[in-house]
Chain A
Amino acid sequence: MKKLTFLALLALVGMFACKDDDNPKPSDGVDLTNIAYNPTPHELVIPPGFPSMNIPADNPLTEQGIDLGRRLFYDPILSKDSTVSCGSCHGPAGNFTDNKALSPGVGGLLGTRSSMAIINSGFLSKGMFWDGRAPHLEAQALGPVENPVEMAEKWDDVEVKLRNHADYRTRFRKAFGIENSNEITRDLATRAIAQFERTLISANSKYDRKKYQLDPDPFLFSDLETDGLKIYFDDQFGAPGAPVGHCAHCHDGGPLLTSERYENNAITEVASLADFPDKGLGALTGKLTDNGKFKAPSLRNIALSAPYMHDGRFQTLEQVIEHYSSGGHYADNVITGSITNLNLSAYDKQALLAFLNTLTDTTFVNNPAFQNPFH
């Protein structure tokens, strides 16, 4: 019996010895299994009139995932010198833009395009960026980190920084159930960011109250705003000589206010289709007739996200309206059925502007759940 106990003990010690050899060194990551993994599903409230949101099956929304995503979104840890976060170029006050024509990245370097609003982006299905090159939010979030004029960092290094960060280790565990800090990857980080972005839903402008919440107040819209709406939607019921703006042909999509069309809206004067300084969609597809085409973005909260267009060339909405009224610069790929000299009167322009201002939803930009958690 004694012999047996001794042998058993010996075997046990041997086992431990072996186990000891296998023990992870600090660089092998930190075991996280003692932290509870119990994610809470997040129920998205889809407002009336909205289409369904395209949520990938492998990235369901959870409170823990959204919270992690919000932190990553606002944390300059994703940039090379810890100076730039996603939020630097996509701040809530500016409708998740930075209100600059071109956005300074690490070291103050400027890119060639203006920051885009992130608003109801989870509902979009025809590509991210001005040229639609990223298929969805997860793929989009990979880009800025390694972009030399944005965050100028390597994802390999970001992964190391996050793995060495005790708070993030816990948060990745709670959001995704990883068992070891080494399982923190760019894939999970971008999934978390995408979860946060999918919660950025805006549905509470005056326009929403009129059209989708069916507010019974007959005076909710002024006459000026109503006339602007009619110009925007070409809704003139045949009144002779009534102004039409054709705006909704590219900026409708129901409450999303983007038709997700990639078009040349005639802002750039070129001798030929080959001459666009930024070829936009054409650089992607290689088709000459796609040159100068950019995404027609959502006009929701547009009053808050000046300056305008992919290069931020227009400072004010008045300038934008002036552009559309004139019809801009003809090129062979402009849809001249919509983009043409509209002959808008001074009153029409005022009305259109008044309507665009009804698209402002301040409850969205002030929503506490969307603000920088480090402030």
Chain B
Amino acid sequence: MKKLLLFLLVGITVASCGDDDMKTPVASVHLNMRAVYDGQPLVMYQAYTYPDGSLVRFQTFNFFISNITLLGEGDTPDAELSEVEFADFSNNTTLAEAETPQAWHFEEVPTGTYRGIQLNIGVPASLNNADAGNLDADHPLRQHFTTHFWSDWKSFIFVKSEGIYDLDGNGEFNGSDQGFEHHPGKDEALTQVTKLMPITLAEGGTFDLNLVADLLKIYVKNGDALDLSDPENSNVQQASDLPLMLYLMGNWEQALSVE
């Protein structure tokens, strides 16, 4: 966002010095995101089938996306749309809610030809500390400081995925099933995702970029699903859980797609 502002500022200054007609032409980018499970709209508290045939259910799914950037092509420089945003699908308890994407509107994006979008899942290292709590009240990192800052690691939790796995296989959920709480978040777990696609922004136009986050795909690597029946895999919160954290974060390139 800052970069974008700078770019605009320079643009405006240049425009005001020179030809009166010269203005930085801009367009709007609407970033829309839906969450799904194996392609189906992700409804919280609804049972889905895990690859091993057991039932699984989620009650929380949210994450930070950061350095959201359109990658410039040719003469068009990269344009950063936003430094940090927060995506939260935890309140989608009906199909209608799950089908309605979360939307971010970025106005005044320089026109041009872009070759794709790049973003990080997580919080950039420069902001990933308690000082982020001092940002403006409406900054996503201040808004979600209490819920997502894990003071023991001095890091934000990048992704929260919480739910329950039908351990006893009786087709319903109860207290003896395996709850899980996957909370990866540490500088080394910041994950970059790149989606290449032609994006042409014409002056005054609006470009809709529709992303889909498939929660199941975070749990699957090379066709193998994480063993949710293993209690060792139920939580990501200790230093020793780093391998599991990196496993979950490493699957985001496939979990996020453009539709």
Hey, which bits of chain A sit against chain B, CB under 8 A?
49-52, 54, 123-126, 211, 233-238, 244, 246, 248-249, 252-256, 258-261, 287, 289, 327, 329-330, 332-340
Contact = CB atoms under 8 A, between A and B. Distances in A.
A19 B148 CA distance: 63
Given A237-B240, A248-B152, A337 B179 contact: yes
B235 A234 contact: yes
A289 B137 CA distance: 29
Contacts of A211: 151
15 contacts: A49-B151, A51-B142, A125-B142, A234-B238, A235-B152, A244-B238, A248-B151, A252-B152, A258-B146, A289-B45, A289-B93, A336-B178, A337-B162, A337-B181, A337-B235
B129 to A, nearest CB: 10
User: Nearest 7 pairs between A and B by C-beta?
Assistant: A238-B240, A336-B179, A51-B133, A337-B181, A330-B175, A253-B146, A337-B179
B180 interface: yes
B177 interface: yes
Question: Chain B's interface: helix, strand, loop or mixed, by majority?
Answer: mixed
Contact of A256 (B146, B179, B241): B146
A50 B238 contact: no
Interface residues of B, number: 39
B95 interface: no
B60 interface: yes
Q: Is the interface of A mostly helix, strand, loop or mixed?
A: loop
A337 B147 contact: no
Given A252-B151, A336-B177, A244 B235 contact: yes
Interface string B221-232: 000000000000
Contact of A52 (B59, B135, B179): B135
Given A52-B142, A236-B238, A253 B147 contact: yes
Interface of B: 44-45, 59-60, 93, 130, 133-137, 142-143, 145-147, 149-152, 162-164, 173-175, 177-181, 183, 234-235, 237-241
Contacts, number: 116
A124 B93 contact: no
Contact of A335 (B60, B145, B241): B60
A254 B60 contact: no
Nearest to A298: B146
A54 B139 CA distance: 12
Contact of B146 (A125, A330, A339): A125
Contacts of B241: 238
A53 to B, nearest CB: 9
A248 B162 contact: no
Contacts of B234: 337
Given A52-B134, A254-B133, A338 B181 contact: yes
A335 B239 contact: no
Contacts of B136: 52
Contacts of A259: 146-147
B147 A261 contact: yes
B146 A260 contact: yes
Contacts of A236: 238, 240
Given A238-B241, A259-B147, A336-B175, 11 more contacts: A51-B145, A124-B146, A125-B137, A246-B237, A248-B152, A252-B150, A253-B146, A253-B151, A329-B175, A336-B177, A337-B164
